[in-house]
Amino acid sequence: MTYDVAAVRGRFPALAEGAAHFDGPGGSQVPVDVAEAVAAAMVAATSNRGRVTAAERRADAVVAEARLALGDLLGADPGGIVLGRSMTQLTYDFARTLAGDWGPGDEVVVTRLDHDGNVRPWVQAAEAAGATVRWAEFDRETAVLPVSAVTDVLSPRTRLVAVTGASNLLGTKPDIAAITAAAHEVGALAYVDGVHLTPHAVVNVRALGADFFVCSQYKFLGPHLGALAADPALLETLRPTKLEPSMNAVPERFEFGTLPYEVLAGSTAAVGFLAGLVPGEGTRRERLVRSITALHEHETVLRDRLDTGLRALPRVHVYGDPARDRTPTALFTVDGIPPGVVYERLALAGVNASAGSFYAIEAARSLGIQDTGAVRAGIAPYTDESDVDRLLTGMAEITA
Ligand SMILES: Cc1ncc(COP(=O)(O)O)c(C=O)c1O
C-alpha cells in the first residue's frame, strides 16, 4: 500500500502556516483528529474515575482506552502502561524507585549516545545510593553504539542498563535486543528510551526485551504526555513512594495525582491516526504495523534524498555513516558558519530545522560540539519531497 503523503498533510492545520517542518524530533505537529479528540473529552461530562455516574465512567474509559492504544502501539501489555507527564518525569520516578535497593558496589550502565533524560536520572540516583556508574561509549565516526560497548562494562554487579532505542541527535539505532539480552544475562534490568524510536519504527517491547520502555506522545503526533511500558508482574515487585489513599494497584501505583483525561483522549487519537496512515483492515495492532511499515518506507526515501543532497554540498559535514541503520534524522554543520546562523537563515527561508545539542549533552561532548551544537533536520509523517527540496535549496544558498 502506497503512502499518500498529500492526504496525510491535509489533516494537519499547522502546515497551512507554510513552514517546512524538520523540527519533528523536538515535537511533531498534530493532526486535527487529535485536537478534536482532546476538545471532545473536555466538553463531555467527566469526573474523577469511578463506576457510578456516567461522568465517572467516562473518565475511567478514557484511561482504559489510552492504555489499550499504547499497548497496541508498543506491542506491550496494556496493564503495564504507566502514564506520566513526560519521559523525563517517568524516568526520574522510576530511577528513584529502582535505586531504593541499590547500594555501594552495585553498578548502573548509561551510554554517551543517550538523551540526558535517560542518563542524569540514573547518574543522580546511583550517586544517592552510593552505586557506581559505568559508561558505554559510541563510535564518533559512525555514531553507532556497538553492543560490545555495553557488554564491556557489564558485570555481575550491574543492576540496570539504560540505553536509547534511537539517538535523537544522530539517529543511530543500537541493537536493543542484543543489549537487553546481555543485560539479562548478568541479572540486570534494561530501561530503554524509546522516545526517538517510536515515531519511526514498529515497536515490539517484548521482542526488544526491554523491561521498561518509555516514549512521549508529542513526538508521534500526539499531545504532550509520556508513557512507560513494562510487564505488570515486574511493576508489582516495585514500591514507589505514594500518597496513602491513592490506588495501590498496578499501574496506578506509579501515577501520581489525577491523570489528564483530555490529553489521554488525544493520545488514543494519535495512535488511531497512526494506525490509519494507510487504509486497510485488521486489528489496531495490525493496522499500526502496516501503516508504520509504509511510513518507514516513505521516510527512508526522503531521508536518503536529504542525506545525499546535504553531502553533495560544499563545506557541509553530515554526522554519522549513511550506511548504518538509523531514523530519518540528519545532523550537520557548515564549515565557517555557526550552526545557530544556519538555523536562522533556514528559518528565513521557511524551513524549521533548529541548532543545538537537543539535550543529548554527553553525545555532543563526545563529538566536541557541546558549545555550538549542530543543525538537526528530522523527517516526520507529514514531510514531503518539496519540504526536502526547500531545505536543500536553502542550504545551497547558505553555502554558495
Ligand atoms: C531520545 C529522547 N529521550 C528523551 C526525551 C525527553 O522526553 P520528554 O520531553 O518526554 O521528557 C527526548 C526529548 O527530546 C528525546 O528525544
pLDDT along the chain (400 residues), means of 10: 93 98 98 98 97 98 98 98 98 98 98 98 98 98 98 98 98 98 98 98 98 98 98 98 96 97 98 97 98 98 98 98 96 98 98 98 98 97 98 97
d(CA 185, CA 196): 26
The minimum-distance atom of ligand 1 relative to the CA of 86 is 10
What is the whole-number distance in angstroms between the Cα of residue 365 and the centre of ligand 1? 18
What is the whole-number distance in angstroms between the Cα of residue 219 and the centre of ligand 1? 8
What is the whole-number distance in angstroms between the Cα of residue 193 and the centre of ligand 1? 8
The minimum-distance atom of ligand 1 relative to the CA of 226 is 10
What is the whole-number distance in angstroms between the Cα of residue 26 and the centre of ligand 1? 8
Ligand 1 mutation target, pool 163, 359, 361, 362, most atoms within 8 A of CB: 359
Radius of gyration from C-alpha coordinates of the chain:
21
SS3 at position 326: strand
Q: Report residue 107: phi and psi, to 5°.
A: -130, 150
Q: Position of cell 506491542?
A: 75
SS3 at position 53: coil
Nearest CA to ligand 1 atom 16: 168
Nearest CA to ligand 1 atom 13: 26
The minimum-distance atom of ligand 1 relative to the CA of 167 is 1
Q: Helix 261-275 vs helix 284-311: angle between axes, to the nearest 10 degrees?
A: 80
Identify the pLDDT of residue 1.
63
SS3 at position 188: coil
User: What are the C-alpha distances in Å from 36 to residues 21, 55, 68, 362, 387?
Assistant: 22, 19, 20, 39, 26
Ligand 1 mutation target, pool 70, 82, 85, 87, most atoms within 8 A of CB: 87
Quickly count: other Cβ atoms within 10 Å of residue 42's Cβ.
12
What is the whole-number distance in angstroms between the Cα of residue 273 and the centre of ligand 1? 21
Identify the pLDDT of residue 2.
84
Query: Which residues line ligand 1 at a C-beta cut-off of 6 Å?
Result: 86-88, 115, 117-118, 164, 168, 193, 195-196, 216, 226, 359
Ligand 1 mutation target, pool 163, 195, 198, 263, most atoms within 8 A of CB: 195
Q: Position of cell 535549496?
A: 393
d(CA 154, CA 133): 11
CA dihedral 39, 43, 48, 53 (to 10 degrees): -140
What is the whole-number distance in angstroms between the Cα of residue 171 and the centre of ligand 1? 13
Global pTM reads 0.98
Beta carbons within 8 Å of 120's beta carbon, 6+ residues apart: none
Closest CA to 146 of 113, 122, 168: 113
Give yes or no for a contact between 220 and 65, defined as CB atoms under 8 angstroms apart. no
Q: Would you state the cell numbers that stand for residue 326, as one nine-digit string?
A: 538509523
DSSP secondary structure code for residue 299 in this structure: H
Q: Would you state the cell numbers that stand for residue 127, as one nine-digit string?
A: 550517586
Nearest CA to ligand 1 atom 15: 195
The minimum-distance atom of ligand 1 relative to the CA of 114 is 1
